[in-house]
Amino acid sequence: MTAAELYTKLGLAETGERGDYLQFAMSGQELPNHWYLLVAKRCDHLILSDGLSAECSIVACSIEEHVAYMSTSFWRNRREIWNVHHRGGDHGVMDLVVRGSLPAAFDDLRARAFARQAAAGGQDAGVDYVAGIPQDLARSIVGFQYDEINPGIDNAGFRALRQEATGPLADARRGWWKFWQR
């Protein structure tokens, strides 16, 4: 799916601004391996819905650093094929929830992260290597990780995006779950 097709499908438009993805509420850029990266600043942004995967494959990530919540999932044909997430917080550093048919890279990434965690002191370590597994898995597929320098990717070249008045994201942001909202 091209960027234009993606924008039409989701009801997005470019604002004309370019910069680092952290500058904008939502931004996008085509990656060197032809994946298109959409970044939204909220961990629970509605862009994670399953509807888009009817026409393309999606690697979806959610990150909430202050509680060490990290997740990555792969979607195709409106179905979640696999999901890996680290719930963080009270679940502890050794927490990793896995479901589905994972790519071959997962076993090695998991083994290395758990070995590093054990070497650092396991559950009592002052670091959480297990939390990085979902994002490492995403990087192994799409070639981008939010907290690293990504070769071949222009960090100042992200296109600022806005939600149009119509489309699935506009309809969803009306907050059906907020019964007091008009």
The order of strands in the sheet holding 158-163 is 12-19, 158-163, 26-30, 36-40
The 10s digit of each residue's pLDDT in 65-82 is 888 899 999 999 889 999
pTM: 0.84
pLDDT of residue 171: 57
In whole angstroms, give the CA distance from residue 42 to residue 72: 15
42 versus 35: the higher-pLDDT residue is 35
Q: In degrees rounded to 5, what are phi and psi of residue 26?
A: -150, 140
Average pLDDT over residues 5-27: 91
